[in-house]
Chains A and B, each alone.
Chain A
Amino acid sequence: MSGRALVISIIVVAVLAAVPPFLNGYARSLLYITVLYVALAYAWNVISGYAGYLSFGQVTFFGLGAYTTAIAVIRAHLPWWEGALLGGLVSAALAVPLGYLMLRLRGAFFALGMLGMAQTLQVVANSWQLTGGGSGLFLPPGSNALPVYYWTLVIGLLGFATTLFIDRSAFGLRLQALREDEQVASTLGVHVTTTKVWAFVISAIMPGLLGGGYAWYLTYVEPVSAFATRIDLQAVAMTILGGIGTLWGPLIGGVLMSQVSEILAAQYPQAYLMIFGGLVVVLLVLLPRGIAPAISAALERRRARAAQVQR
C-alpha cells in the first residue's frame, strides 16, 4: 500500500469505529450487515479467489460458529465473545480434516461437496436435540448490536490484513501458482496440500467467528438462516463484482451490494435472489475481472500520463 492509501484506510477505519454509537438502529444495522458481508467475502476470496477452489458452502462454518456460540452461551454460560472465539476454533478444527478430504476434489466436485456439506449440517441442526431442532436456540435478549458490530469490524480488518499478507507473501504466490496448475506447482517444489489446507482453514475461521457474532446479534439461531447457502451467493456476487482474487475486490463489491441485499432480502426474497444471481451471470460476461482491476488500470494510466507531463 502506498502512503496515501494507508492514510485513507486509517481514516476510513477511524470513521467506521467512531460513528456507530451516533447512528439510529436502522443505519447501524445497515452498517453491520455491510461490514459482515465484506468480511465474509474476504474469507471466501482466500480459498476461492486465491487458491481457485470455488466453495459454495463456506456458510458451513458460519452456521457452525453461530451454533457453537449459542450452545456455549446457553449451556456453559460463557460470555458471547468467548463462545464466538470457540466457534472460530471449532471451524478451524473441522476445516483441517475436511480440507484434507475435500481439497482432493477439483472443480465441480469440490464446489458441490461444500454445498452438500452445508446442506448436511442444516439437516443435522434440524434433527438434533442439542441444537434445538427446527425451532433453533434462543439467546438472552439484550442490546447486542454495538459490541457485535465492533467484533465484526475487527474480524473484517483481520480479513483485509490477511489478504494483504497473502497478496504480498510467498504463501500467496504459492496459492496462486497451485490455482493455475497444481501439478506444475508441485514439481516446482510447492507443498500443494499443506498450502491449500491452510488457505481453507483461513477461509473457515473467519466465518466461524462472524457467525458467533451474528447469533448474538439476532439473539437466536435456527437451521435455515444459519446454513443458508445464499450467504455464499452474496459473498460470490460481491467478490466477483469487486474483483475475484484481488485485495480490494471484496471491499468494493461488499460495500456496493450490501445495501441492495439489506433492503431486498427480507421483503422481496425473489427479487433479491434474481438480482444477485443475475448479477453474477452478467458480470462474468461483461466485467469478468471485476471493478478493482479496472480501477488500478485507470490509476496506472493516470500515473503514466502524469509522469509524461513532468518530463
Chain B
Amino acid sequence: MHAALFGQLTIDGLLVGGVYALSALGLNVIFGVMRIVNLAHGEFVIGAALLAAVLFERLHASVLVVLPLAFVLAFGLGALIQRAFLRRLPTDLASAEATSLLMTFGLSYFFVGAWLAFFSGNFRSVPYLTGAWTLGPFSIAQARLLAFVASGIVAALLAMLLRYTALGRAIRATSQNLQGALACGVDVERVRTLSFALGTAIAAASGCLLILIFTVNPETGANVTLASFAVIALGGLGNYAGTLVGAAVIGLAISFTGYFATAQVAQAAPYVLFILVLLLRPAGLLGKSGA
C-alpha cells in the first residue's frame, strides 16, 4: 500500500472515530450510573441525524444550529423515558439486567418505527461543507474535520461537567459506588434520570455530526449501537479514557474496510473486531470477577 493512501485512510478513520467516541461516551454515562446498556442508543443518534438532515433540506439550517436543539429535545425525551418506563422496572438483582435489556430493545424498535413514520425510509445526508483542504499528499474533508472538532468540543464540555459541577460529581460518585453515594445523601433517582437524559442528549449531538459523514435512514440505528458498544467493549465499560482508544480503533477499521471492501462490509467491521477482542481477552470483558 502507498504510504500516502495509508496516511489518508488513517486520517479519515481517526476523524470518524471522534464522532463514534462521542456516541460511545453517551452510552458510557448511562452505563456508569444505571448499569444499563441502552440498546436504543443508535436510534437516538439516528433520530437526531435525520432531524438535522430534514432541517438542512427544508430550511438550510446548519447542523451546528440543529445540534443544541436536538440536544435539548433528546435530553427531555431521555428524562421522559427514564421517568415513565425504565424507573418502573423491577430491581431485584437476578433479572434487573435482563429486563433493562429487553426494555431498551423494545424502545429501539419503537423508535425505528417512529422515525419511519416521521422521516420516511429514505436515506438522507447533509451536503454541508463538501470541500476539502489539501495538506501535502493528504486531503482533509472539511465536513469530517468539523464533525471531529465539534465532537471534541462536546466531549470536553461533558468532561468539564463531570469534573466541576455538582451534578457531575454526583454522577461520578454514583458510578463508582452506589451505596456510598446513597450514604452521602445523593438523590440517586434524580441522578439516574439526569444521566439517562444526558446520555441520550449526547447521542443526539453525535447524530448531528455523524450525518456530516454518513448517509443514514431510520433502520441504520442498530449499526450505530453496535459500533458504539464495540468502542466501549474495546476500551472497557465505564472507562472514559479507554473509550477514546476504542473509538480510534473502530474508526480506523471502518475507514480501511470501507476502502478495501465495501461500505456495507465496513459496517460489519466494528462487530468483527468486537468478537476478535472477546476471543483474545474474554476475561477482561466480562466485567465481573469472582473476588
Q: How far is the CA of A55 from the CA of B39 in the complex (A)?
A: 13
The contact string, 1 if C-beta is below 8 Å from chain A, for chain B 91-118, is: 0001001110111011111111110110
Q: Does B2 have its Cβ within 8 Å of any Cβ on chain A? A: no
Q: Does B58 have its Cβ within 8 Å of any Cβ on chain A? A: no
> CB within 8 Å of B: which of A192-237?
229-230, 233, 236-237
Contact B102 A119, beta carbon cutoff 8 Å? no
The contact string, 1 if C-beta is below 8 Å from chain B, for chain A 253-282, is: 000000000000000011111111111110
Q: How far is the CB of B143 from chain A (nearest CB, A)?
A: 26
Please tell me which one of the listed residues B109, B226, B282 contacts residue A273 in the complex, with CB atoms under 8 A apart.
Answer: B109
The contact string, 1 if C-beta is below 8 Å from chain B, for chain A 107-126, is: 11101110111011001001
Please tell me which one of the listed residues B109, B111, B268, B274 contacts residue A123 in the complex, with CB atoms under 8 A apart.
Answer: B268
Q: How far is the CA of A112 from the CA of B270 in the complex (A)?
A: 12
Q: Is the interface of B mostly helix, strand, loop or mixed?
A: helix
Contacts of B264 in A (CB 8 A): 123, 126-127
Give the number of chain A interface residues (Cβ < 8 Å). 47
Contacts of A13 in B (CB 8 A): none
Q: Is the interface of A mostly helix, strand, loop or mixed?
A: helix
Contact A112 B288, beta carbon cutoff 8 Å? no
Please tell me which one of the listed residues A123, A273, A275, A280 contacts residue B103 in the complex, with CB atoms under 8 A apart.
Answer: A280
Contact B285 A105, beta carbon cutoff 8 Å? yes
The contact string, 1 if C-beta is below 8 Å from chain A, for chain B 249-291, is: 0000000000001101101100110110011001001111010
Q: Does B151 have its Cβ within 8 Å of any Cβ on chain A? A: no
**Given contact pairs A119-B222, A119-B226, A236-B105, A285 touches B89 in the complex (Cβ within 8 A):** yes
Q: How far is the CB of A186 from chain B (nearest CB, A)?
A: 11
Please tell me which one of the listed residues A104, A123, A237, A285 contacts residue B267 in the complex, with CB atoms under 8 A apart.
Answer: A123
Contact A107 B110, beta carbon cutoff 8 Å? no
Q: How far is the CB of A282 from chain B (nearest CB, A)?
A: 8
Contact A274 B106, beta carbon cutoff 8 Å? no
Contacts of B275 in A (CB 8 A): 101, 113, 116
Contacts of A179 in B (CB 8 A): 94
Contact B229 A112, beta carbon cutoff 8 Å? yes
Q: Does A240 have its Cβ within 8 Å of any Cβ on chain B? A: yes
**Given contact pairs A126-B264, A127-B264, A107 touches B271 in the complex (Cβ within 8 A):** no
17 A-B pairs with CB atoms under 8 Å apart are: A54-B98, A105-B285, A108-B101, A108-B229, A112-B37, A112-B39, A112-B229, A113-B278, A116-B271, A119-B226, A120-B271, A123-B264, A233-B105, A233-B106, A274-B113, A277-B106, A284-B106
